[in-house]
Amino acid sequence: MERTLSIIKPDGVGRGLIGEVVKRLEANDLTVKAMKMIRMSTTQAQGFYAVHKDRPFFGSLTEFMTSGPCVVMVLEGENAIERYRTLMGATNFKEAAEGTIRKDFATDIEKNVVHGSDAPETARFEIGYFFNSLEIVA
């Protein structure tokens, strides 16, 4: 069993896609172990995306992520990190496979509806960034 962090980004929440995303997770044996809605401050978004701080899109990305509420979730399942990334599709929706969340709903390379951790170490960091152990069901 593995855990990963999922975020439904402000474009996804704003367009009424919470249910659609959660439906796809549950249909694919990714169990929601924690869930909450948050509105990130600029400092919080910059801390979350610190690995991207030198990328040209960092300012725009952190501004977008603070532009409205996000739904953050801890997902659990066999090989959850990779399986959730497969469900999300490529970062650039134009390159995303048919049937993926980003192919079906993303409108922009930045406004791509969802986030998912990319490795066990980043999953641990990202889950801990938003949740304490009491907030994650056993």
Provide the annotated active-site residues: 115
110 binds ligand ATP per the rule CB under 6 A = yes
By CB under 6 A, is residue 109 in contact with ligand ATP?
Answer: yes
Of the ranges 21-29, 36-44, 71-79, 105-113, which one interacts with ligand ATP (CB under 6 A)?
105-113
Alpha-carbon span 38 to 36, nearest angstrom: 6
- Site pattern 105..124 for Mg ion (x: CB under 5 A): -------------x------
Of residues 25, 127, 21, 37, the one with CA closest to residue 74: 127
Q: Which is nearer to ligand ATP, 20 or 118 (CB)?
A: 118
- CB under 5 to 8 A by kind: which of Mg ion, ligand ATP, none does 82 bind? none
Helices (H), 4-138: 10-14, 18-27, 42-48, 58-65, 80-88, 101-105, 120-130
Helix axes 80-88, 18-27, angle to 10 degrees: 130
Residue (130 or 134) nearer to ligand ATP, CB: 130
